[in-house]
Structure 1
Amino acid sequence: MRNIPLHWQIAAAILLAVTAGVIGGPDAGIGSLHFTAVYAFLGTMFLNALKMLIVPLVMSSIISGMAGVGGDKLEKLGGKTLLFYASSSLVAILIGLAVVNVIAPGSGDNQALAATISSNDPELSDTLSKVEGRGASDIVQVFVRMVPTNVVNAAANSEMLGLIFFSLLFGFFLARSKSEHAKTLTHFWQGVMDIMTEITMWVMRFAPIGVFGLVAKTVAITGFAAFKPMLLFFFTALLALLIHAFVALPLVLKYVAGVSPKKHYAAMTPALLTAFSTASSSATLPLTLKSIQEESGVSKQVSGFVLPLGATVNMDGTALYECVAAMFIAQVYGLELGFVQQFTIVMIALLTSIGVAGIPAASLVAISVILGAIGLPLEGIGLLLVTDRILDMIRTAVNVFSDSCAAVVIARSEGEDTLIASK
């Protein structure tokens, strides 16, 4: 197995997981032992191992990256990063808006879908309990939490925006410090990052097993039969995500960064497959950093600054999905949206893709904000629950790929000669 590249191992694990989930279903097992419980155990252990790495890896990568970049370059690097993230998210949303308007998955006969929503559905009731009463004020509170009162508490509760803010400050002043002890701290954080990278490589040896558990459980429980009424919406969202990932972002790589999209895809394949399996940009961050540094050749200074920030605030796939989902629900309820309403959806999707990162049921909260803004009932979210898990996996992979593109583009703009540069 060690001679087989990791991305092929993960791909094989996904295929086996789909097969096992379809054949076994939710009730398969031996005696009282259900296979879904075994799948859940394998997946949870792998996810826990990845999440264990996040806090020390994020802190060490940002602090060591900042110390290496130097305080004088922070404004320039930060400006480029935020500009890329805002621009790529806006492009993603506009692609989603164009595709959903052309295909109109909620129009025509599909309007009967609105009648299938039952307020007595326990899954819908549970989801609505998470999003009811939420609005723009919740997004503001996320930004308030960006400045933590207790950084240790922020780390313990995985409040990544607060942790990133503290790490940026620490790294900035570490780079500017004239203290003789500052070099010791710089070496310390670089050492932490090196060790965390080694641990990441060890954890990733178990990735095929963990990925198998995560995907098999999802397929076994969700199945594919329930997709039929929602197939047109599913393929609309999927098409928009694929256009962004395989057309828009590669064009940026080729013509803005001057790198080979094909080589970059190859470099990022293990991270993308892991993102698809875990449906978590943060959990995938250790492997994203490893791939972008070792395979794409981006420096630790740039990747250590750009990627942790992107894993928290750059959500191209999520923003695109929010737009498509809101437009779909409007079409199902027979609401014709004019330019102003669609512009409202675009702007809210852009803001909420950043602002709801720390809120449970993040994308559904964002969609509930959009629905409230255009006057649609929250019960429309019930339509999305059937396909949400699979689309969540896909849009997470798009989020991670966008982060990696940002790292490459910014590295090239800083004059770095990456391993995937076009010759």
Structure 2
Amino acid sequence: MPWYRKLHWQILIGLLLGLLFGLLAAAQGWSGFVTRWVAPFGTIFINLLKLIAVPLVLASLIVGVTSLSDLKRLSRIGGKTIAIYIATTAVAITIGLVIVNVLRPGHTVPPEMRTRLQEAYEADVEARAELAEQTRQRGPLQVLVDIVPENVFSAASDNRNMLQVVFIALFAGIGLLLIPADKARPVIAFFDGVNALVIQLVELIMRIAPIGVFALLADTITSIARDNLQQVFELLAALGYYSLAVVLGLVIHTLGTYPLLLKLLARVPLKTFFSGIAPAQLVAFSTSSSGATLPVTMECAEKNLGVSEEVSSFVLPLGATINMDGTALYQAVAAVFIAQTLGLGLDLGAQLTILLTAVLASIGTAAVPSAGIVMLVIILESVGVPSAGIALILGVDRILDMCRTVTNVTGDLTVATIVAATEGQLALPVPETKSAS
């Protein structure tokens, strides 16, 4: 197959063209045109992915659980998955804390720019602080309460309730394992058919992925620039060192931690792994949403990496809801950066608090764009840093959100590959070879 017909290259071309067109539109003052005539195609692409996310998780997870046919096996895979997710999140936060303490990006922001940023994003800060206050007032076991829905249909009506959908699917799958096989068979066959339908729909949606990515990138650039390209450069000049610290941490975790785990626990060729997950990474970058990317993530795991359907249908939906390595790393860097900028020192105890709080917060962070900002407010206040400090980073948050979502999705695929390999359910595809003439 020619390189230009491969999906990940088409998405990459769409991404680059969207970036260039967004810069041109910002320079020429075309943001209104982009908002009205270009951005809707990106919204349609994201909506299509969100449309099939709930039925995909529900059907694939029920089929995956029932295919295990053994509750002990399910508990083993579940325990292994959650343990690796929590461990990689802790490593990601540690990397972020080391980098921000070594580079000290908060000491490079000029006082006048700090004042301008706080004034420009004052309204956004108040809105995020209100959401954080609602989250903070919940009891210590509210996370468990939130997992169990009171209504199946209300849980399935909102993609933010994906953890509840996962619970419903697991609950139903376990129930099907416990009832007589002749009673369970038609129900399993129904969800198997739904799963096959959704997978086919994913393939159809991905045909317009290059167009959707183009529109999303163009809209992102013009939204940040607001018809003033100079504003982008000013933001990058003021917050470039901070952004560099976040991106450096994400790169180290994505290209260091994950490959090391793959080599030690799965023995998967890194070239095969990263070329196989490229479409999911590019969609994650453009949508900034692990949840919206989930259909593509599952397709890459099964078709490109050879992860079995029963493993991918369990590990990946769970990862999209509780595994937020990139978000946790970013929160650690952002919290210390804000403290440095405001002239507040954070001792070892405070940074250990950040580590623990960020691990717990990453489990409850919704798989939607910028949800990590709300949890960051809670982390800041846990170590005595004013939550109003998030105004310092909101200007570049959208760009960094795109980057950290790539790490989140890469982590999900890494863990799925490791679990499949350790369970003997990984069948790597045979590399294409050129026929001799």
TM-score in same-fold range (> 0.5):
yes
The AA in structure 2 aligned to 1:56 is P
Please tell me whether the aligned partners of residues 262 and 418 of structure 2 are also in contact (alpha carbons under 8 angstroms).
Answer: yes
Show the 5 A alignment for 1:398-413.
398-413=407-422
Please tell me whether the aligned partners of residues 154 and 162 of structure 1 are also in contact (alpha carbons under 8 angstroms).
Answer: yes
| Alpha-carbon spacing, 1:198–1:358, altered in 2? closer, same or farther (3 Å) | closer
| Alpha-carbon spacing, 1:364–1:243, altered in 2? closer, same or farther (3 Å) | same
Please tell me whether the aligned partners of residues 64 and 189 of structure 1 are also in contact (alpha carbons under 8 angstroms).
Answer: yes
Match for residue 243 of structure 1 among 252, 258, 276? 252
Match for residue 425 of structure 2 among 406, 409, 416? 416
Match for residue 331 of structure 2 among 299, 322, 333? 322
Q: Does 1:13 align with 2:14?
A: yes
Q: Does 1:190 align with 2:189?
A: no
Q: Does 1:337 align with 2:338?
A: no
Give the 3-state SS of the residue equivalent to 2:106 in structure 1. Answer: coil
The residue aligned with 2:79 is 79
List per-residue Cα deviations over 1:366-414 (Å, max 9, x = no partner).
Answer: 1111111111111100011111001001101110000000100000110
Deviation at residue 293 of structure 1 after TM alignment: 0.2
Once structures 1 and 2 are overlaid, which stretch shifts more, 372-381 or 233-242? Answer: 372-381
List per-residue Cα deviations over 1:20-45 (Å, max 9, x = no partner).
Answer: 01011187449xx6123222201111
Once structures 1 and 2 are overlaid, which stretch shifts more, 269-278 or 252-261? Answer: 252-261
| Alpha-carbon spacing, 1:108–1:5, altered in 2? closer, same or farther (3 Å) | closer
Give the 3-state SS of the residue equivalent to 1:185 in structure 2. Answer: helix
Match for residue 351 of structure 1 among 348, 354, 360? 360
Q: Return the TM-score normalized by structure 2.
A: 0.91
The residue aligned with 1:101 is 101
List per-residue Cα deviations over 1:275-328 (Å, max 9, x = no partner).
Answer: 000001010010111110011000001000000010011000001011010010
Please tell me whether the aligned partners of residues 277 and 297 of structure 2 are also in contact (alpha carbons under 8 angstroms).
Answer: yes
Deviation at residue 260 of structure 1 after TM alignment: 1.1
Q: Does 1:394 align with 2:403?
A: yes
The AA in structure 2 aligned to 1:302 is V
Please tell me whether the aligned partners of residues 136 and 369 of structure 1 are also in contact (alpha carbons under 8 angstroms).
Answer: no
| Alpha-carbon spacing, 1:237–1:358, altered in 2? closer, same or farther (3 Å) | closer
The residue aligned with 1:219 is 221
Q: Does 1:55 align with 2:54?
A: yes
Please tell me whether the aligned partners of residues 288 and 404 of structure 1 are also in contact (alpha carbons under 8 angstroms).
Answer: yes
Give the 3-state SS of the residue equivalent to 2:118 in structure 1. Answer: coil
Deviation at residue 143 of structure 1 after TM alignment: 3.0
Once structures 1 and 2 are overlaid, which stretch shifts more, 348-357 or 200-209? Answer: 348-357
Please tell me whether the aligned partners of residues 139 and 352 of structure 1 are also in contact (alpha carbons under 8 angstroms).
Answer: no
List per-residue Cα deviations over 1:58-80 (Å, max 9, x = no partner).
Answer: 00110000011122311101100
| Alpha-carbon spacing, 1:217–1:360, altered in 2? closer, same or farther (3 Å) | closer
| Alpha-carbon spacing, 1:323–1:39, altered in 2? closer, same or farther (3 Å) | same
1:98 & 1:39 partners in 2: Cα distance?
A: 41
List per-residue Cα deviations over 1:127-148 (Å, max 9, x = no partner).
Answer: 4444355426277534311000
List per-residue Cα deviations over 1:130-173 (Å, max 9, x = no partner).
Answer: 43554262775343110000011101122111111010011112
The AA in structure 1 aligned to 2:401 is D
The AA in structure 1 aligned to 2:305 is S
The AA in structure 2 aligned to 1:376 is V
Deviation at residue 339 of structure 1 after TM alignment: 1.1
Contiguous gaps of at least 5 residues in structure 1 = none
Deviation at residue 6 of structure 1 after TM alignment: 0.6
1:248 & 1:166 partners in 2: Cα distance?
A: 32
Please tell me whether the aligned partners of residues 259 and 421 of structure 1 are also in contact (alpha carbons under 8 angstroms).
Answer: no
List per-residue Cα deviations over 1:92-144 (Å, max 9, x = no partner).
Answer: 11111111111010025656654334356444444444435542627753431
Q: Does 1:64 align with 2:63?
A: yes
The residue aligned with 1:43 is 42
The AA in structure 1 aligned to 2:206 is M
The residue aligned with 2:295 is 286
Q: Return the TM-score normalized by structure 1.
A: 0.94
The AA in structure 1 aligned to 2:354 is I
**Across the two proteins, how many residue pairs are aligned to each other?**
420
Contiguous gaps of at least 5 residues in structure 2 = 226-231, 432-437
The residue aligned with 1:301 is 310
| Alpha-carbon spacing, 1:66–1:149, altered in 2? closer, same or farther (3 Å) | same
| Alpha-carbon spacing, 1:298–1:106, altered in 2? closer, same or farther (3 Å) | same
Deviation at residue 417 of structure 1 after TM alignment: 3.9
- Cα RMSD of the aligned pairs, angstroms, is 2.2
The residue aligned with 2:172 is 170
Once structures 1 and 2 are overlaid, which stretch shifts more, 220-229 or 309-318? Answer: 220-229
The AA in structure 1 aligned to 2:184 is A
Please tell me whether the aligned partners of residues 290 and 368 of structure 2 are also in contact (alpha carbons under 8 angstroms).
Answer: no
Deviation at residue 2 of structure 1 after TM alignment: 10
Deviation at residue 256 of structure 1 after TM alignment: 1.5
Deviation at residue 3 of structure 1 after TM alignment: 6.0
Q: Does 1:90 align with 2:99?
A: no
